[in-house]
Amino acid sequence: MRNLIVFLWKHQFFVFFIMLEAVSFTLLFSSYSYHKSLAFGMANNVTGSIYTSYSSVTDFFGLKYENEKLAEENASLRNLIKSAATPSDSSLIQQDNNYFYRAAKVVSNSVNRQNNYILINKGEKDSIAPEMGVISTKGVVGIVIGTSSNYAYVMSILHQNSRISARIKKNNHLVNVLWDGHDYEEGLVVDIPSHIELYPGDSIVTSGNSLIFPEGIMIGTIREYMQSANQDLSEAIIKFSADFNKLQFVYIIENHMKPEADTLISNFEN
Interacting residues with other proteins (CB under 8 A): 12-13, 16-17, 20-21, 23-32, 37, 40, 43-44, 46-47, 50-51, 54, 108, 110-115, 117, 119, 153, 160, 180-184, 245
| β-pair type (174-178, 234-240) | unpaired
Report the residue number, 111 or 190, with the smaller CB distance to other proteins.
111
Q: H/E/C letters for each residue in 23-62? A: HHHHHHHHHHCHHHHHHHHHHHHHHHHHHHHHHHHHHHHC
- Closest to other proteins by CB, 7 vs 29, is 29
In whole angstroms, the minimum distance from the beta carbon of 188 to other proteins comes to 13
Amino acid, res. 115: N
Closer CB to other proteins, 36 or 125, in the complex:
36
Q: What is the Cβ-side half-sphere exposure of residue 250, based on CA atoms within 13 angstroms?
A: 32
Min separation Cβ 21 and other proteins, Å = 6
What minimum distance in Å lies between the beta carbon of 148 and other proteins?
12
**Main-chain phi, psi angles of 184, to 5 degrees:** -70, -10
Judged by beta carbon, residue 35 or residue 113, the one nearer other proteins is: 113
Please tell me the distance from the alpha carbon of residue 250 to that of residue 245, in angstroms, as a whole number.
13
Q: State the nearest-atom distance from the C-beta of 40 to other proteins, in Å.
A: 6
Beta carbon nearer to other proteins, 106 or 192: 106
CB contact at 8 A, 219 and 175: no
Nearest to 118 by CA among 135, 137, 139, 100: 135
> What's the min distance (Å) between Cβ of 111 and other proteins?
6
